[in-house]
Chain A
Amino acid sequence: MDLDTPAHEIAGMVSAGMVSAEEVIERTLERMRQTEHLNIFISTNPCAISEARRIDDMVRTGSDPGRLAGVPVSIKDNICTRTMPTTCASRMLEGYVSPYEATVVERLRREGAIIVGKTNLDEFAMGLTTEFSVYGPTLNPRNPRYVPGGSSGGSAASVAAGAAAISMGSDTGGSVRNPASFCGVAGFKPTYGMVSRYGLVSYANSIEQVGPLARTIPDLALAMRVIAGPDPRDGTTAGARPVSDTGDGMDGKRIGIVEQMAPDSLHRGVRAVFERAVSGLESLGAICEAVSLEMVDYSVAAYYTITSTEAGSNLARYDNIRYGYGLDREGYEFHRYVTASRDRFGPEVKRRIIAGGFVPSAGYTGRYFLKALKVKSRLAREVNRLFGTYDYLVSPTVPVPPFRLGEMLDDPVGLFQLDINTVTANLTGKPAVSVPCGTHDGLPVGVQLMADSFRDGPLLGAARALEGIVP
């Protein structure tokens, strides 16, 4: 066994007693130490070894250790864990330890997964390079001079570096798929309502989902089967359905190539990988043809308007009253105290909170927020119409290959445009997956497949087929 072994194989070997969970975790912790310079983890689990021994005891005594027995899993640091802090990579939550555990973490542990650590992210998941972290940027394991993507950059890097077999990220506008594409791993954004958000620190709660990252599509499917399903603590999961095991092949499937997501201006390296993937799908018998989603041109503006509005509200609770850091309250009137304590937010978070106070405010809401909601519903109508004809929609995950650290730091608006292919799935609630499909100049490029709501299982089947034809 080496550290690139897929999760389902690790679990099989541990359950069969062929390798001990303790050994798997020992070697994972060793890898975490070796890759410390990549700045992947914010904190590590001090109990990982003893938890692994407990799995081994279960194997020895013949009890079922679970579907993820001994599998090393990393968790994005905006998902609550009881034994490690949950910082959201923000000075605002420095040292904050949640008194409860997120539903996804509970479900992973129940199946024998070992949580090895909490991974780095853009502060409160706002960003797509993992550079907006108070703990410094995470480096891309494929080439440390490049960004790993974001905001789940630490999660993608941990999987790419062999420091975890599966990672839990969160995807608000591409935050799982973008770093998966940049780090050359697979990443999945489930249908809205498939996976419980209880314990995911909200950024834009009406469109985000917890989603897995892994090295292979079957591992994504395995993770989804463990974490998906209704949760009595999250009312939006009431309609969640089981994730079916396999797809039914690509033969005769109709796939729409979204014109607006692969325009003439598309980066040539990305285009080359994308076109190879499309011909690969055709060689499996799929019928691929160009389709148009006109609202995509407005989707990024709508996305930032909606997410800023929700972020401004979701982050209002960080007033340093019930928890937080030491700041003497003496002599402060409440509003001045809150203003002073919120100075701890980083620049990107501040930008979005300020925008979030403006776009839905009286006098401007018609011009911005309500218009964004209109784009959202028209986009959903367009996408639903396409899924009346097509089984899947395909596009590059990100219109550019990974870029260097610092390259986009001074261009927040330019950075926003990199979300253009991913935000549609969030605004419409549809499932989407990024499959590593090749490289440009040695840097990974991912291809995105999207399906209709609650067709998460078939979508993963299609992704599996695409994964199989990558050279």
Chain B
Amino acid sequence: MIGLEIHCQLTGLNSKLFCPCRADYRGMEPNTNVCPVCMGLPGTLPLLNAAAVRSAAAIAMSLNCAPGERLAFFRKNYFYPDLPKNFQITQYDAYGHTSVGGRGVVRLDDRDIRITRVQLEEDPGRLSYEGGADGRATTLVDYNRAGVALVEVVTEPDFEDPRQARDFMNMLADTVESLGAADPHLDGAMRADGNVSVRGGDKVEIKNINSFHDLEKALHFEITRQNSLCDAGRTIVQETRHWDERRRITIPSRTKEAELDYRYFLEGDIPWVAMDDDTVRQIREAMPESVMSRRDRYIQYGIAPQVAAVLAADALCCRLFEESHTDRTAKLIANLITTDFMGVMDTREKRAHSRLQAGHLSALAGAIDGGSITRSQARTILARLSRDGGDMGAMIREAGTSGDLAGVVERVIQEEPEAAERARTNPPTINHLVGMVMRKTRGSADPQETLRLIRKALEE
């Protein structure tokens, strides 16, 4: 089983968690985005960024984790050169539930993923190692990142395979993005540690995973490693391993994390934050609908869960859907968007530049529903519209004239499954179907065009 510990920087904020320095330090010269507070100079005090609390609470609430009635901050004490104060201000539930998010459950592809906790904390600085030619290594510290607000999401070991873990990461990325809390695409803005256990064995933690793609790879590697150890009759011991990006393997970590004693205690410099009903309601009202609740709402329309999930996760497609559908056409439009539109425009960038508008979709759906064009004609029109734009009314009218005939062909094939099957295996018998169409159109159809349409329909 797999569990995740995800850290997401709140890059949507203007400032760090406890000082006025910038939340987005990217592209800055080392140690220029610092002040006495985030450098931990003697006498400085942390001042809690209220917007960070609201953002973190919104993320927690999107994951169905209720915030504590009163939030408290704690010190996690350990020595490390990237920590200016040699303790990290974080959250901890020593006096009941005092974190931004408590236990919650998220539904993901018919699975319940239990969330252990959601916490708000400060990011440490960054270390870089420079090896000298003479074999001596130098460690450099950049504190630009130190003190940036970080939301930690910890899950129970509820993922069965690495793909699900990655799906969860994608869902979380979509969530924080739609909340405006963070830009998950920024380098290092979203990081995950995983833990893996197989066949009831001990849990192994994997750290230092830097991308969603690598997360899946690292988890796969670790599962395979543990399985082959088990096959060889060896026991898995609890340990922390690092993902080696270059060699694409996990290696044992030098520091023994489990042995550290963090001596958590209350951070007296930050007064408790009251999260009364009013505050929580205000946060909730300011939240855009979450990806998950949107997906659940779409399923209510009768849209297939997989289609609803794909649709709900894409902001542009959601907007097209919301502005075009009626109760009657919801399912049809969802399919038009997720199979046809997303099929032609297969990246976010392409879709962002497409000419397709919500009005197009409602007109197309109306035309299909009214029988004036077929589903496959709609697909062609939608592809042309998305790529080149143009006069959709004309396209529908044009398709509609041939559409009448195509509709008759479709109906005949549906009504005569045996004849259709015979025509597929024994082509000359296709004339029986042509005759059926001619009878239905009282001889008005063009035989050549009828033959072409039947051949095409049989191929589909």
Contact = CB atoms under 8 A, between A and B. Distances in A.
Contacts of A334: 79-81, 139
Contact of B84 (A102, A206, A310, A317): A317
Category for how many chain A residues contact B: 35 or more
Interface string B83-106: 011110000000000000000000
A232 B84 CA distance: 22
Contacts of B87: 313, 316
Interface stretch (B42-50, B219-227, B326-334, B356-364): B42-50
Contact of A360 (B85, B139, B265): B265
Interface string A303-323: 000000110110011010111
B130 to A, nearest CB: 14
B266 interface: yes
Interface stretch (B33-41, B208-216, B403-411): B33-41
Contacts of B45: 197-198, 205, 233-235
Interface string B38-74: 0111111111100000000000000000000000000
A94 to B, nearest CB: 13
A99 B47 contact: no
Interface string A63-80: 000000000000000011
A313 B263 CA distance: 9
B86 A317 contact: yes
Contact of A202 (B43, B263, B265, B270): B43
Contacts of B46: 235
B314 interface: no
B77 interface: yes
B75 interface: yes
Consensus secondary structure, chain A interface: loop
B131 to A, nearest CB: 15
Contacts of A99: 36, 41
A273 interface: no
B84 A235 contact: no
A235 B269 contact: yes
Contact of B77 (A93, A96, A202, A313): A313
A365 B74 CA distance: 15
B271 interface: yes
Contacts, number: 99
Residue with the highest number of chain A CB atoms closer than 10 Å, among B79, B139, B263: B263
A238 B271 CA distance: 9
A312 B79 contact: no
B345 interface: no
Given A235-B269, A236-B269, A316-B86, A198 B79 contact: no
A100 B103 CA distance: 42
B263 A357 contact: yes
Contacts of A96: 42
A310 B268 contact: yes
B84 to A, nearest CB: 7
A335 B47 contact: no
A360 B263 CA distance: 6
A167 interface: no
B268 A205 contact: yes
Interface string B357-394: 00000000000000000000000000000000000000
Contact of B261 (A100, A207, A317, A361): A361
B435 to A, nearest CB: 87
10 nearest A-B pairs in the assembled complex, by CB-CB distance: A206-B268, A316-B86, A199-B43, A201-B42, A80-B43, A360-B263, A317-B85, A362-B261, A317-B40, A201-B43
22 contacts: A79-B43, A80-B43, A98-B43, A100-B41, A198-B45, A199-B44, A202-B269, A207-B268, A234-B45, A235-B270, A236-B269, A236-B271, A238-B271, A316-B77, A319-B81, A322-B41, A323-B41, A334-B80, A335-B79, A360-B263, A360-B265, A362-B263
